A and B are shown apart, each in its own frame.
Chain A
Amino acid sequence: MAVFLIRRVLQMAMVLLAVSLVVFFGLYSIGNPAEILLPDDATASERAAAIIALGLDRPIWVQYWVFLTNALQGDLGTSFVYNVPSITLIFQRFPATLELAVAALLIALAVGAPLGLYAGLHPDTPLDRTIVTGSILGFSLPNFWQGLMLILIFSILLGWLPSSGRGPTGEILGIETSFASWEGIRHLILPATNLALFKLSLVIRLTRAQVRETMQLDFVKFARARGLSDRRIIGVHVGKTIAAPIITVVGMEFGSVIAFAVITESIFAWPGMGTLIIDSINKLDRPVVAAYLLVITALFILLNLIVDVLYTVLDPRVRLGAMK
């Protein structure tokens, strides 16, 4: 276990280093931020002063070295636009995105797992075919258009739910969350549903495939032969076996849900990291874009590690030593 963890941490460091290189040199080619930040009537000397203040006059590899050493000390630069440390900006926005992603995954699991279970237990029935075709429709729906349709139907035509922004937040157990008030939850429903639909098909198809595969295994036949009820076989024995792969995939998808939240956030004006990154790209706010990418990458790698460790706990057939 210790060897496995050390190797994974080293790998994480290598990947982060690679991303920092890609991010830094990729972003370096985007425009000149001094041009964007200065007013149009800025004089040449003001311009030169700004370029020196931003450190843009130094050779690119010096800029990279400064960037890297600062990053290792937790300083990912100061936003050109907000004049606040970019890491602070990101962590200010992070809870909103996290809340959206968690709500979306919960919806996807709560709706998708039962549908997948039903489809897997009754393969090739009309309802199964409807669920499977529906799931293809689900992942064919362009996420942004589906968001527009949700707004059109539930906000404009029916007027039930608000179409943009995060509602009032309150504290539950010391965490700022929209779940504290009904108004907050109302604001969360549409964006969370939009993000959930994006993963719903995956949960359905995965559960269905897992159930179909597991139901044919010998241990199910033995359990039947011993006279256990269907409810107990499916609820306890099959449930345990299919939980591990489903949790793994959902866990790994968590990172991608946070990344894809960019789309949902910009449609519903949700004040999370996604709207921040789109704004920052448009304003050429390099430090924020770079910090966002590094934070997201670190999050991804960390999630993969957690999922791998969880996997061994949930499924005793898997041993960490066998993983490279």
Chain B
Amino acid sequence: MSAPAESPPAGSEAAPSRWRPVWDGFAESRTALIALAVCVILLVLALIGPWIAPQNPYDLAEISFFDGRLPPLTVTPEGKLFLLGSDNQGRDMLSAMLYGLKTSLFVGVASGVLAIVVGVSLGLVAAYAGGAVDALIMRVVDFMLSFPTILVALMMLAALGQGVDKVILALVLVQWAYFARAVRALALSERNKEYIEAARSLGLGWPRIVFRHLAPNCMAPVIVIGTMQVASAISAEATLSFLGLGLPITQPSLGLLISNGFNVMLAGLYWISVFPGLLLLVLIFAVNIVGDRLREVLNPRNAR
């Protein structure tokens, strides 16, 4: 009985994972561990949000106009608790935030993953192909990076209109170039190493060499930039929604909740803006701390 229980640790020592030292380095910082825990908790909350939320804030049958504008910690005569208050229409803020968190995280992660796929592919191809292909791709990258994200996203959405898919598209467009540039820089040094030469002399096709052999060795910066970009995508989406150019009112993200609250904030109804904003801040802050720690651990200059 004891043999199977003991074998996994023994096995993992025999073949140490390449990520083991990364995790050890990461775990040295308590702040980073707490931040990671916060990220995981928020992710879980977003996923199970619809089941734990006190009400479905977008089901008109469940919300009552008479519960509108309640300050935090109000208990209505019917015994309903509004822990974080309610908005103009009588939505429970806590429920609205759980739903909004899901939308915000979805947009951030989806645009991040798509940007990685596009950016890494183009960066690898540029580095491996060289010549005119490289020059062309990198000119486009320079062009994209010379404009601030908010400007490009603003213009894209001005042209495309509102919608989750359009926001994701705009965010991918502003993000892919960061991955392309970082991956290309690393791939340029990797492609001259022996294992690529070996793969080439085996007669493998370039797609296989680029994506199966080259790609796995160029992933360190992608992880760091990816983490940071997810945070910045969540923030950018919130900003665009706040400016009225992001998500439609039917799919309120945290940014849209804050925007709704802004209109009544001058009347003293602070909680409608403050709580979704705090949640957004905690989310972005936690992701950024994780990213910052990863950068320190994965930085070859700091290698021990």
Q: Which residues of A contact B (CB under 8 A)?
A: 15, 18, 23, 26-27, 29-30, 133, 136-137, 139-145, 148-149, 151-152, 156, 163, 255-256, 259-260, 262-263, 266-267, 277-278, 281-282, 289, 293, 296-297, 300-301, 304
Contact = CB atoms under 8 A, between A and B. Distances in A.
B300 interface: no
18 contacts: A18-B143, A136-B289, A136-B292, A140-B235, A140-B281, A141-B284, A142-B277, A144-B242, A145-B281, A156-B268, A259-B150, A259-B151, A260-B150, A267-B262, A278-B244, A282-B244, A289-B158, A300-B147
Contacts, number: 104
A263 B155 CA distance: 14
Contacts of A29: 159
Interface of B: 31, 143, 146-148, 150-151, 154-156, 158-159, 231, 235, 238-239, 242-245, 255, 258, 261-262, 265-266, 268, 270, 273-274, 277, 280-281, 284-285, 288-289, 292
Contact of B270 (A143, A152, A263): A152
Pairs of residues from A and B, 5 with the lowest C-beta to C-beta distance, nearest first:
A145-B277, A140-B285, A256-B148, A259-B148, A140-B284
Contacts of B239: 142-144, 263
A296 B146 CA distance: 11
Contact of B288 (A18, A136, A151, A300): A136
B288 A148 contact: no
A149 B288 contact: no
Given A281-B154, A282-B244, 18 more contacts: A133-B31, A136-B288, A136-B289, A140-B235, A142-B277, A144-B239, A144-B243, A144-B255, A144-B258, A145-B242, A148-B262, A148-B265, A156-B270, A259-B148, A263-B242, A277-B154, A293-B155, A304-B146
A47 to B, nearest CB: 23
User: Secondary structure at chain A's binding surface: helix, strand, loop or mixed?
Assistant: helix
Contacts of B31: 133
